[in-house]
Structure 1
Amino acid sequence: MTDLSLKITAKSIPHSVWSADWLRTAEKQAADDLGLTLYELMQRAGAAAFNLARELYPQSQHWLVVCGHGNNGGDGYVVARLAQAAGLRVTLLALESDKALPEEAATAREAWLNAAGVIHAAEHLWADDIDLVIDGVMGIGLNSAPREAAAQLIEKCNQCSAPVIALDIPSGLLAETGETPGAVIHASHTLTFITLKPGLLTGKARDVVGTLHFNALGLEEWLSGQTAPISRVDSAQLSSWLHPRKPTSHKGSNGRLVIIGGDHGTAGAIRMTGEAALRAGAGLVKVLTRFENVAPLLTARPELMVQELTPHSLDECLEWADVVVIGPGLGLQEWGKKALQKVENSRKPMLWDADALNLLAINPDKRQNRVITPHPGEAARLLNCPISQIESDRLLSADRLVKRYGGIVVLKGAGTVVASQHGECAIIDVGNAGMGSGGMGDVLSGIIGALLAQKLTPYDAACAGCVAHGAAADLLAHRYGTRGMLASDLLTMLYPFVNPDLNSKEND
């Protein structure tokens, strides 16, 4: 038996993310390697959840535990038994099935009954004084919408005014993709076990996970010997990419970037891209745009070098630049098409966004020196499929984009996915709803372009750029809230994220 006197509490969130399919096999292998039973791991999970619930809601007295017909329900039985032993009032509801419970869950259920616990049917009337709900209805094995009985129980949990703690994953959220094909628990907190699953970080996850907590259940050392296929990336990793500059560095050594776009009426897009590139540390930034935009851009941001886009100026700048960004405000007319046709012959590192992606969808090609940054609508055009298909499996969509177009793909959204042709994959764990406004993608393009110009690899530039972008927005949201956030507001919030060494000095 596991020693439940062991203090099992939630730990900080790791940066390794594993497939739920892999975990189902690996969990048994880990237990065998460490001389544990799967029931002992279940007891650890239940103890971790009980301790977290007591820590988060110390005044709660009446817990409702809802259990499904699987090992997630088994975790719920362990939580219920520990809560009752601690003197709390516990009401436990369980979904029934014609199938036998898994062995570990059956053992946990029997232990609950042996402790004088009572199991009520899922239809049991709820008391008015329930002050905490523990969700153990469905776990990481779900791959479709919950069936009617489970869906009804999930909806009833959502209608309850008490906070909900989800065990491993909110019931109804798909662990592999973050899709919610049917009813889903809207958790206040989620405690996930052993590893992070991708569905907790992308797709609809942010709508339903609440605050995410993690516990490896004592398998940390075993997991350290494994190589995760996906990384969770946040601002803690910026210092590994963005190092302090040498005292002798100069504008030439900090990179030369040319940005192409800004057709009639879209000078704002190209200005934000250019200014973001400067704020992210590019040494020299040239903007090629419509003649009518030259004077306004120079007036607004004199540090930019701005020229009219002509065949001659484009040739000169493609020769001069270390990195090319094209697309913000480019338009779909001949002016933009001709510029893109010339740019696509360059072998220099480049980033394509916005209308460059819409033109790419019309004339697809594959190249390895390019970063593309589609939002779901642009990704759907690039893959000739509905947006719903993109959002139903964002990791798969990013992989399909890489295989078709090469280079690096940044599939933007809540839980942005970055993927490379070499099989690298990251989920960006920063950002907020305030970023749902015009111009955010233009700013991101400038940041990534600047980091490419500063000699980061395309994959690292994409990851670091997305993190700096989202972390700046998070700082804004913390200060002022999410409603009313402008893309240009991020520009002066970038300093601490593109200079992470300053943060470490302050912490010292």
Structure 2
Amino acid sequence: MTDHRLTNNRSSIPHSVWPAEWVRKAEKEAADSLGITLYELMLRAGDAAFRLARATWPEAQHWLVLCGHGNNGGDGYVVARLAKAEGIDVTLLALESEKPLPEEAACAREAWLNAGGEIHAPDAPWPQGVSLIVDGLLGTGLASAPRPAVSALIDRANADPAPILALDIPSGLLAETGATPGSVIIAQQTLTFIALKPGLLTGKARDVVGELQVNALGLESWLADKPAAIQRYDAATLVRWLTPRRATSHKGDNGRLLVIGGDHGTAGAIRLAGEAALRTGAGLVRVLTRQENIAALLTARPELMVQELTDESLAKGLEWADVVIIGPGLGQEKWGKRALQKVENSQKPMLWDADALNLLAFNPDKRQNRVITPHPGEAARLLNCDVAQIESDRLLAAHRLAKRYGGVVVLKGAGTLVASENGELAIVDAGNPGMATGGMGDVLSGIIGALLGQKLDLYDAACAGCVAHAAAADAVARRSGTRGMLASDLFTTLHLVVNPELNDVNHD
């Protein structure tokens, strides 16, 4: 089976993302403005899903359609009716409820029955020989774990070898957050309607969404003049930030970076950050570290300037630098604490990562000239909560971090989030599981720091840096897979990714 998490081509989906609640409320307004009914939108959704299923699985001749007791189930009834009309063998299982169906779903259900379709109870015998499952159980309004009857259907669907097409969102995945508080459909394809929702792009989404597609149901013109609350950034968007350099540019134009860290035994972290900055185009990179690391760093990467970290070298370095990176391998002992205390007084653009964040959690402060790049564990310490709380609502966590600490926050993970204190939010739709290895965060620090030195503001540098980092890892994965990927492997592709004018290298 194709691993869509690695090979999925996102070039055809929008870059605008709206909260699911906004989409639900806006649906009627959009339909009214175009003079169509909500039932017409449901018919369009069902037709789009049916056509996608036929195109993707043309040999599938026995479809199992799972319908919930809402409008997502209504979409399922439309799909089932269209499939039956094409001569496909359709088995439909529907959830029961004492509450009446929404008007549109009731119309779709009646049309299915009028076409000769049958409705089976959710506990009916599971049909044999199913070649496609259509998931219309739960929609984007879900806010908690599915109830037991729904969970049982989800688990049976996942256990069946047939591929699954999810309508709007895999049942059990929360559309606002990407969390999965209970059972969740693991889809091979997800067709979402009207607009992208954030839960399809972050949290657990990559494990369950499969190949993601969007159909606006004819509402494109209505959506066009609506400012999206969230932006989706992928490798194709790098050209917005990284333009070709002037022929007369020199190293002074491209930023002087000061990189501080590498306590005993962690020279590798500071080397990765320093080399990443160079590979991203920094003009000059000066590393301040332990005396014992100097020879090894200069031997491994002679383009770095390396000095022992002392009060004098730090004072001179802070005066010299355009941008400061602190944290990779810094440690939390007296040596690292003393350096951070001196750095925190600087007003120059800076990035704090790793142990700088752990120290920040003990002495929180708020500043506007800083990017912080926590992973979920560091984010939990910064917000004095546990990792489960961070992962249950990553978007909220990113906003809380930005409000508490100022500047710009990068909340790392699958579907990395970039948030600013003034409410900007982006989802990085790139990267792969091979990045879950030591040193990747150090590389990201160097990349973002280098872009700060090339005159991008904090938010743009963070967005562009996260995309470049993930795109470089994706290029490595396409070449040699995800298992066994090293952080330093990104240096073989990073310098190509940050020159997006080169023959579409980000998509090779």
CA contact under 8 A between 1:279 and 1:492: conserved in structure 2? no
3-state SS of 2:45 partner: helix
Contact 1:258 1:317 in 2 (8 A): yes
Q: Give the equivalent residue in structure 2 for 1:224.
A: 224
Query: 2 CA distance for matches of 1:258 and 1:93?
Result: 62
State the match for 1:497 in structure 2. 497
Q: Distance in 1 between matches of 2:408 and 2:197?
A: 23
- Asked if the contact 2:95/2:122 (under 8 Å) is kept, the reply is yes
Q: Residue 502 of structure 1 aligns to a residue in which SS?
A: coil
In the other structure, the counterpart of 2:186 is: 186
1:78-93 aligned within 5 A? 78-93=78-93
Q: How does 1:138-287 map to 2 (within 5 A)?
A: 138-287=138-287
The Cα offsets for residues 63-88 of structure 1, whole Å up to 9 and x where unpaired, read as 00000000000000000000000111
Q: Once the 2 structures are TM-superposed, how far is the Cα of residue 11 of structure 1 from its aligned partner?
A: 9.4
* Cα distance change, pair 355–319 in 1 and its aligned pair in 2 (3 A): same
Letter in 1 for 2:152: Q
Q: Which residue is equivalent to 1:112?
A: 112
Report matched runs for 1:374-389 at 5 Å.
Answer: 374-389=374-389
**What is the distance in 2 between the residues matched to 1:447 and 1:134?**
42
Q: 1:480: Cα distance to partner?
A: 1.1
Aligned runs of 1:45-124 on 2, under 5 Å? 45-124=45-124
Cα distance change, pair 417–497 in 1 and its aligned pair in 2 (3 A) = same
Distance 2:506 2:135 in 1: 41
- Mean alpha-carbon deviation: is it higher for 496-505 or for 223-232? 496-505
User: Superposition RMSD on alpha carbons, in Å?
Assistant: 1.2
Q: Structure 1 residue 24: deviation in Å?
A: 1.1
2: CA distance between counterparts of 1:110 and 1:505?
Answer: 51
1:38 is matched with: 38
For the Cα contact (< 8 Å) 1:11–1:215, is it kept in 2?
Answer: no
Paired residue type of 2:418 = V
Which segment drifts farther, 125-134 or 437-446? 125-134
Q: Deviations over 1:180-203 (max 9, x none)?
A: 011110111100000000000001
- Give the distance between the partners of 2:111 and 2:503, measured in 1 at CA: 50
Q: Write out per-residue CA displacement over residues 420-462 of structure 1, whole angstroms, 9 at most, x where no aligned residue.
A: 0121100000001000100000000000000000001110100
Please give the per-residue CA displacement for 1:279-300, whole angstroms capped at 9, x wherever unaligned. Answer: 0000000000000001110011
Corresponding letter in the other structure for 2:287: V
Task: Indicate yes or no: 2:416 matched with 1:416.
Answer: yes
Distance of 1:284 and 1:506 partners within structure 2: 26
Distance, in Å, in 1 between the alignment partners of 2:276 and 2:446 is: 5
Query: Partner letter of residue 186 of structure 2?
Result: H
User: 2:252 aligns to what SS in structure 1?
Assistant: coil
d(CA) in 2 for partners of 1:96 and 1:73? 11
Q: Is the 8 Å Cα contact of residues 142 and 175 (structure 2) preserved in structure 1?
A: yes
The SS at the match of 2:120 is: strand
The structure-2 alpha-carbon separation of the partners of 1:166 and 1:321, relative to structure 1 and needing over 3 Å to count, comes to same
> How many correspondences in the alignment?
498
Q: Is the 8 A contact 2:471 2:506 kept in 1?
A: no
Q: Report if aligned partners of 2:203, 2:391 keep a CA contact under 8 Å in 1.
A: yes
* Paired letter, 2:25: T
Amino acid at match of 1:413: G
Using the TM superposition, name which of 349-358 and 474-483 deviates more: 474-483
Cα distance between partner residues in 1 of 2:43 and 2:431 = 35
Unaligned runs of at least 5 residues, structure 2: 1-9
Q: Is the 8 A contact 1:65 1:80 kept in 2?
A: yes
Whether the 8 Å CA contact 2:235–2:506 is kept in 1: the answer is no
Question: Which consecutive unaligned segments of at least 5 residues does structure 1 have?
Answer: 1-9
Once the two structures are superposed, what CA deviation does each residue of 1:216-235 show, in whole Å capped at 9, x if it has no partner?
A: 00000100010000000101
Identity of aligned residues (%): 73
Once residues 436 and 505 of structure 2 are traced to their aligned partners in structure 1, the CA distance between those partners, rounded to angstroms, is: 33
Q: Residues of 2 paired with 1:24 and 1:454: CA distance?
A: 41
Q: Give me the whole-angstrom Cα distance separating, in 2, the residues matched to 1:428 and 1:122.
A: 38
Q: Deviations over 1:75-105 (max 9, x none)?
A: 0000000000011110000001000000000
Cross-structure match for 2:4 = none
One-letter amino acid of the structure 1 residue matched with residue 484 of structure 2: G
Question: Is the CA contact 2:261–2:327 (under 8 Å) kept in the aligned structure 1?
Answer: yes
- Scaled by the length of structure 1, the TM-score of the pair is 0.97
| Residues 496 and 503, structure 1, Cα contact 8 Å, conserved in 2 | no
The letter for the 2-side match of 1:411 is: L
Question: How far apart are residue 126 of structure 1 and its match?
Answer: 2.1
Q: Is the 8 A contact 1:428 1:467 kept in 2?
A: yes
Partner of 1:373: 373
Cα distance, 1:11–1:50 mapped onto 2, change above 3 Å: farther
Alignment partner, residue 28 of structure 2: 28
Please say if residues 177 and 395 of structure 2, whose CA atoms lie closer than 8 Å, have aligned partners that are also in contact. yes
Deviation at residue 504 of structure 1 after TM alignment: 5.0
Instruction: For residue 69 of structure 1, give the secondary structure of its aligned residue in structure 2.
Output: coil
**Which residue of structure 2 aligns with residue 299 of structure 1?**
299
Preserved CA contact (<8 Å) 1:11 1:213: no
- One-letter amino acid matched to 2:289: T
Contact 1:11 1:214 in 2 (8 A): no
Whichever residue aligns with residue 56 of structure 1, its letter is T
* Cα distance in 1 between the residues matched to 2:137 and 2:265: 53
Provide the C-alpha distance between the structure 2 equivalents of 1:255 and 1:495, rounded to a whole number of angstroms: 16
Distance 2:108 2:284 in 1: 64
Distance 1:104 1:11 in 2: 32
Contact 1:235–1:471, Cα closer than 8 Å, also in 2: yes
Give the TM-score of the pair, scaled to structure 2.
0.97
**Residues 94 and 121 in structure 1, CA contact (< 8 A), matched pair in contact too:** yes
Q: Which one-letter code corresponds to 2:468 in the other structure?
A: A
Moved more, 473-482 or 97-106: 473-482
Matched residue, 1:332 = 332
How far residue 495 of structure 1 moved from its aligned partner, in angstroms, is 2.2
Amino acid at match of 1:260: I
Counterpart of 1:48, as a letter, is A
**Shift of the alpha carbon at 1:491?**
1.0
Relative distance call for 1:245 and 1:481 in structure 2 (3 A) is: same
- Structure 1 Cα separation of the partners of residues 153 and 240 of structure 2: 45
Give the AA of the match of 2:74.
G
Quick one: distance in 1 between partners of 2:397 and 2:336?
27
* CA-CA distance at 1:506 after TM superposition: 11
Q: d(CA) in 2 for partners of 1:133 and 1:241?
A: 42
- Aligned-partner residue type, residue 431 of structure 1: G
Q: Residue 172 of structure 1: CA displacement? A: 0.4
CA distance in 2, matches of 1:11, 1:471: 13
Local SS of the residue matching 2:134: strand
Partners of 2:151 and 2:420 in 1: CA distance: 38
Listed one character per residue, the Cα deviations across residues 113-134 of structure 1 (whole Å, up to 9, x for unaligned) are 0000111111111222100000
Corresponding position of 1:5: none
